[in-house]
Amino acid sequence: MKLFGRRNRNRELDEELQSHLQMAERDRRERGASTNDAAAAARQELGNTELIKEVTREMWGGASLERLAQDLRYGLRILVKAPGFTAVAVLTLALGIGANTAIFSVVNGVLFNPLPYPHPEQLVTLSESKPNFATGSISLPNFLDWQRENHTFSGMAMSRGYLVNLTGRGEPEQLRARFITSDLFSVLGVTPLLGRVFAPGEDRIGGAPIALISEGLWRRKLAASPSALGQTVALDGTGYTVVGVIPASFKLTLGSFNSIDVYLPVGQWNNPLLPTRGAGLGFHGIGRLKPGVTIEQARADLAAISQSLAATYPDTNKGIGATMFPLKQDMVHDVRVLLFVLLGAVGFVLLISCVNVANLMLARSSARRREFAVRTALGAGQGRLVRQLLTESLLLSLVGGGLGLLLAAWGTQAALRRLPAGLPRAGEVGLDGRVLLFTSIVTLACGLFFGLAPALRGARTNLHDTLKEGGRGESGVRHRAQGVLVVAEMALALVLLISAGLMLRSLQALWNVNPGFNSHNVLSFGVALPPSMRIATADGIRAALRNVDQQIKAVPGVTAVSLSWGALPLGGDDEDLFWIESQPKPATENEMKMALSYVVQEDYLRVMGVPLERGRFFTAHDNETAPHVAVIDDVFAKQYFGDQDPIGQRIVVPNKGGSAEIIGIVGHVKQWGLDRDDTESLRAQLYVPYMQLPDAAMRLSWNGTGVLLRYQPAAAATVGESVRSAVHSISSGHLMTETQTMDEIIANSLNARRFSMLLLGVFAFVALGLAVVGIYGVVSYLVGRRTQEIGIRIALGARSPDVLRMILSEGMKMTLLGVAIGFLAALALTRVMASMLFGVSTTDPITFSGVALLLAFVAAGACYIPARRATRVDPMLALRHE
Amino acid sequence: MKPRYQNRTELLQGTLDLLILETLRWGPFHGYGISQAIRASSRDVLQVDTGSLYPALHRLERQKWIAADWKLSENKQRVRVYRLTAKGKKQLESERSRWELVSDAIAGVLNAAKKGSTA
């Protein structure tokens, strides 16, 4: 009603002024003026009608809410009237706020949100601490003792990944499985979608073959039918009864826990080492602390148990302890630094956005000085003006924030899709209440930040001077304010550019790291024999694998093939314990030495391009009937033999059939990744011939062995399919899995770094762009302001180069000051990135100086355009301008 | 600098109010009529700026010192005509006496200065 009345009043005011105008016109005509002159004179006398209406409306008064509505309307009108300014300001803000929202939503999802389990703070990861490893795997007997004897845990579970082949339900398929102890789901507090989880005791060795399946598998292979419970699925040829379905929402996103389709009781693993107390079989645990128990108490508890176990079983448990970390810390500690650096980076981008908008507002507020002065003259108070200007900037920031939110919602999803799978908890990233709150606060803070300075300055307009100067006058203060903002902008942009530069240099350094093998044109995949082979003899499996090897070798375009078991460079790792035969046999396994272990065939060096340094590599004759031989890498040779010649020496490797003669030395391969390998403690590498695998191990390899092959570059596009059909042609039960080129494996290992560099790079370039726009705007503005002065100088004989130099030096003064400040800031700030860098120091002089030069150069370019314009000032025009 | 300027506005505002109220004592007028009347009766010395006039009219209206109605002018044009209210008459009296007080005081000061300088 009130607004309606207001609209009427507005119309009346229009009419009132209109009638005034008409009467004034008529008077003039009656006094003899021509129609045109009368109209013009009357309009001139009336003055700025919009402004009069505006001030008159203010006299109507009204509630503060109404005044706010009035301010908003006026602000909107002002913004709509300057579409160029508004668009630039809104887009700048949307970019800044959007980027912040996106990164914050990631930080929020990954670091701040609690884990999706009841009482997540009670959950800890469990590992055995060993002399070589702080977080080694837990053996089943030790786990059972921990579980039985502790007083601080309400539950404890452990698990290990495994690959199984599903047959009898359509196409054979390899599935990710996990051997778990019965308590895993109850410890986490996850209830099955259907059926039940394993009951205590069902995980014992020799228990009935039962399985839990994922919702995904249930839908894919069992038609999402409730009658799936009690049905049998054939995994590696054994029939498992399905007792429950685990909801798809369950993801224990510890890298290796990804998309698991089957959970099997640990006792179903037919590994003969399972009941062995000293075995390291890759089991890691999760525990739930009793309410009120601190992690220190739990550590003390398990430490005491470990000590008593070490006393009881000195052979296996001497030096064995327990390590635990809060589950969440364990999941996210790798990305913490990265996320905070990114958050800092977008914060800088936002600051620059705000500075730019503040600059725009300052430049505009000088154009609007006359408007402010007149409004003041007409009785608008200063508080009123400040409020009006703040309303305008808040309007801008709100529109920018809204747009930014949309950008973020879209951008986060887009970015996460491209993300290396390595980001833990990526699925939990989204816009929730906390993100919205963050965005609102940031948006309002922006509005105040970039609005307040121009508003206060605009309101302090000196009416007398402004009107006298015809609105063109300018105080040096404003110029200084703009200069300070540009300097700040340059400094911020430089810090970001340097960070991005350091990441780029790290990546470049990594690409130049020699991985120790030639990754080009190498294909890696897995082959599983048909389930009927699970009861085959070791010789039967050897024959079948030889056949696979022959079939693949015969594929056109394939130049060399090697079966591979154990560790894969940059892929999974596998270790063997050993001792040197000429030295005394260690009393316990913990005193044995350890090496990365590769089980390969004679063509392995040809496939991988690993150089043979001394001696010889395996041949086809190093088979199951020949004496056992081994090859070591140069790290192994240096570490365990020092100055001695290893060739001809013998080592004993219990898990690989005992004593073997060292026959050759090959180059070291960066198993742990291009970046990490040099700093890892376990680097010695041991190669043994595939066919000399002990029978028990050979029998285990039927359901999945690795294959590496080198192909001719010309065959790159087709070799994968040709090999697949060759494998399938052996029998329909033969399965080919996980095909990847070695180049892909290397690229994936750098994904996280590349992603963070990409993001930092994008932020840095946005910052650069904004800063360049900023300095361009300010210098253009300066030129505009000094047109007259420049005109006079030219009239007095200044040549173009002089003018150019004068303007450029103004711009470059600001730039260089900004660069200097940014340089110092970066020196202090890049330290936090230390863990993200490789092969480059946090104060790398090349990056620092190169980037500083780049910024100075680009800024000079931005100043050159208006400077060039200044040289073209026509002195006559400039002077008449007044 | 700031305060000086503010004082000036206040003085102008107060004076303009007085002039408008005084003009309306002679009968209802529309805005344009008021500005012309002030101009004429001041022998062209005081020219009221439209930008000050309408805000002042609307402010006085809100204070209920004057009231407005839409009427038809001699030229058959719809115009907004202001008239003095009873409350406005009282206000005019007090404004007028205040003004006379001030102008007498100022005159006194000026005359004293004149006397002083001639003496």
A220-248 mean pLDDT: 90
**Closest listed residue to residue A523, CA positions, set A342, A830, A743:** A743
Give the mean pLDDT per block of 10 residues along chain B (119 residues): 35 73 89 88 79 86 89 84 91 87 85 62
Q: Which chain B residues touch A386 with a CB distance below 8 Å?
A: none
Please, what's the b/e burial string for A108-124 (b: 16 or more CB within 10 A of its CB; e: otherwise)?
bbbbebebbbeebebbb
Q: Is B51 on the interface with A (CB under 8 A)?
A: yes
Count interface pairs A-B at CB distance under 8 A.
Answer: 76
pLDDT band at A254 (very low <50, low <70, confident <90, very high): very low
The answer to whether A45 contacts B79, with C-beta atoms less than 8 Å apart, is: no
Q: What is the reported pLDDT for A386? A: 79
Mean pLDDT for chain A overall: 85
Report pLDDT for B6. 34
Q: pLDDT tens digits, residue range A349-381?
A: 888 888 888 888 877 776 677 777 776 766 666
- Chain A residues whose CB is inside 8 A of the B44 CB are none
Q: How far apart are CA A186 and CA A123, in angstroms?
A: 12
Token pair listed for B13: 């505002």
Question: What pLDDT, on the 0 to 100 scale, is given for residue A342?
Answer: 85
Query: What is the amino acid identity at position A665?
Result: I
Say whether pLDDT at A819 is over 90: yes
- Check residue B11 and give its pLDDT: 44
Residue A550 has pLDDT above 90, yes or no: yes
In this structure, are residues A709 and A560 in contact, taking their beta carbons and an 8 Å threshold? yes
- In this predicted complex, what is the ipTM? 0.81
Residue pair A678/A609 in contact (Cβ under 8 Å)? The answer is: no
For residue range A119-174, list pLDDT tens digits in order: 888 999 999 987 766 778 899 999 999 999 999 999 999 998 888 888 888 877 87
Name residue A407's amino acid.
Answer: L
DSSP string for residues in A377-389: HTT--HHHHHHHH
Q: What residue ranges do the domains of chain B occupy? A: 2-118
Contact A377 B1 (CB under 8 A): no
Q: Is this prediction's pTM over 0.80?
A: no
| pLDDT grade for A881, boundaries at 50, 70 and 90 | low
CB contact under 8 A, A52 and B55: yes
CB contact under 8 A, A46 and B50: yes
A593 sits in which H/E element? strand A593-600
Main-chain phi, psi angles of A207, to 5 degrees: -70, 175
**CB–CB contact A464 B5 (8 Å):** yes
Q: Which residue has the higher pLDDT, A612 or A836?
A: A612
d(CA A215, CA A246) in angstroms, rounded, equals 6
User: Which of B39, B47, B54 has the highest number of chain A CBs within 10 A, making it the mutation to test binding with A?
Assistant: B54
CA distances from A537 to A532, A540, A688 (A): 11, 5, 21
User: In the predicted model, is pLDDT for residue A603 greater than 90?
Assistant: yes
Best CA proximity match to A452, nearest among A363, A389, A395, A384: A389
Please list, in sequence order, all residues whose beta carbon lies within 8 angstroms of the beta carbon of residue A823, skipping any fewer than 6 positions away: A494, A848, A852
Helix (H) or strand (E) holding A16: helix A2-30
Position A429 pLDDT exceeds 80: no
pLDDT of the residue at B49: 79
pLDDT tens-digit readout, A139-150 = 999 999 999 999
Tell me which of A601-610, A846-855, B6-15 is least confident.
B6-15
In CATH, the architecture of B2-118 is: Orthogonal Bundle (1.10)
HSE, side-chain direction, 13 A CA sphere, residue A170: 7
More confident residue, A556 or A315: A556
Q: Give contacts of A26 with chain B, Cβ < 8 Å.
A: 75
The contacts of residue A433 (CB under 8 Å, 6+ apart) are none
Query: pLDDT, tens digit, for every residue of A572-593?
Result: 778 888 999 999 988 777 778 8
